[in-house]
Amino acid sequence: MIARQQQEMLELSTPVVQLWDGIVALPLIGTLDSARTQIVMESLLQKIVETGAGIAVIDITGVPMVDTLVAQHLLKTVAAARLMGAECIISGIRPQIAQTIVHLGVDLNDVITKATLADAFSIALQRLGLTVAHRT
Amino acid sequence: MESIPILKMGKSLLVSIQVDMHDRLAMRLQDDLTARIAQTRARGVLIDISALEVVDSFIGRMLANIAAMARILDARTVVVGMRPAVAITLVELGLSLPGVRTALNVEKGMELIADMQAGGENGRHQT
């Protein structure tokens, strides 16, 4: 019973949403552990295949704490998405988390990081050669 | 002995891996491909691994090696159609193939190669 609930919770906790044609987003909420990251990674990659997305935005606004393990998991997800031919943008990094990441010595140089999901989305649109304009 | 066909399309070579790779086949592909790149003076190599369900560290390393060898022979490699499970396996094995360009499917891979070649040629013509 509890195992089944856990399984359901895992599935519920990792929706992959399509933001635009070619852009998917993964809003992560809550603490990431190994089991959860595994499912997150699988569902993201599956969605990339389904939608043919070229860009994936991983939003970690709702992740309360990032330690080396979580950072490692994130980097793995980014690497796996890259292998599939999709580019990853990590967004929603709070100042506190940015400090922690630097103190931990985690190397995020190869990954595009943005402070907010809005910034990530605008970069994603730019990459796809799209612009958002006011109606005149 | 069986081998993997290498097709020439314009200035690119197309390799579609449709069978399970074993080590000897991988080595053979490596030999054949480098020979073909040198012979045809290809500028791009597209490796389609959408039918590949199982990879091990050897095959992963072979893909990286092929890309590095092609690079030395002045051809860019794009690996396309990797399955999610394969991507996860490679990352878990610590093989994130940093030198290899990737695309979701053959169509996008061809676009990528065309872009890279256009970029390179423009650069040369401008001088």
CB atoms within 10 A of CB B30: 15
Are B120 and B75 a contacting pair, CB within 8 Å?
A: no
Summarize the confidence of residues B61-89 as an average pLDDT.
Answer: 90
With cut-offs at 50, 70 and 90, classify the pLDDT of residue B124.
Answer: very low
Mark yes or no for CB contact A84/B102 under 8 Å: yes
Confidence of residue B102 (pLDDT cuts 50, 70, 90): very high
* Structure tokens given for A79: 């690497």
Residue A53 with chain B: CB contacts under 8 Å: 104
CB atoms < 10 A from the CB of B50, how many? 17
**Residues B62-75, mean pLDDT to the nearest whole number:** 89
Provide, rounded to the nearest whole percent, the portion of chain A with pLDDT above 90.
Answer: 28
Q: How far apart (Å, rounded) are the C-alpha atoms in residues B122 and B112?
A: 15
Q: Are B96 and B89 in contact (CB under 8 A)?
A: no
Q: How confident is the model at residue B123 (pLDDT cuts 50, 70, 90)?
A: very low
- B109 φ/ψ angles, rounded to the nearest 5 degrees: -65, -45
A6 three-state secondary structure? helix
pLDDT tens, residue by residue, B13-55: 999 998 888 888 888 999 999 999 999 988 899 999 999 888 8
| Residue B11 pLDDT greater than 80, yes or no | yes
All residues at 6 or more sequence positions from B23 whose CB lies less than 8 Å from its CB, including other chains: B58
One-letter amino acid for residue A2 of the chain: I
pLDDT of the residue at B16: 92
pLDDT for the residue B47 = 93
The gap between the terminal CA atoms of chain A, to the nearest Å, is 57
Helix (H, G, I), strand (E, B) or coil at B57: helix
Whether ipTM > 0.85 holds is no
**How many percent of chain B have pLDDT more than 70?**
93
Task: List the structure tokens of B117.
Answer: 């070649």
The whole-number pLDDT of residue B121 equals 54
Interface test with A, best of B102, B108, B111 (most A CBs within 10 A): B102
How many beta-carbon contacts under 8 Å exist across A and B?
53
Residue pair B53/B19 in contact by the 8 Å Cβ criterion: no
Phi-psi region of B109 (alpha: psi -120 to 50; beta: other; left: phi over 0): alpha
Cβ-Cβ contacts under 8 Å, B91 against chain A: 76, 79-80, 83
Structure tokens at B24: 């000897």
Q: Give the pLDDT band of residue B122 (cuts 50, 70, 90).
A: low
Q: Determine the pLDDT at residue B15.
A: 93
Residues 80-109 of B with CB under 8 A from A: 80, 82-84, 86-88, 90-92, 96-97, 102-105, 108-109
Each of the 136 residues of chain A gets a pLDDT tens digit; together they read 888 887 777 666 778 889 888 899 999 888 887 778 888 888 899 999 999 899 999 999 888 888 888 888 888 899 999 999 899 999 998 888 888 888 888 888 888 999 899 999 999 999 888 888 888 8
Distance CA(B7)–CA(B47), nearest Å, equals 11
Q: Determine, for residues A76 and B104 on separate chains, whether the beta-carbon distance falls below 8 Å.
A: no
Q: Which residues are registered as beta bridge partners of B16?
A: B48
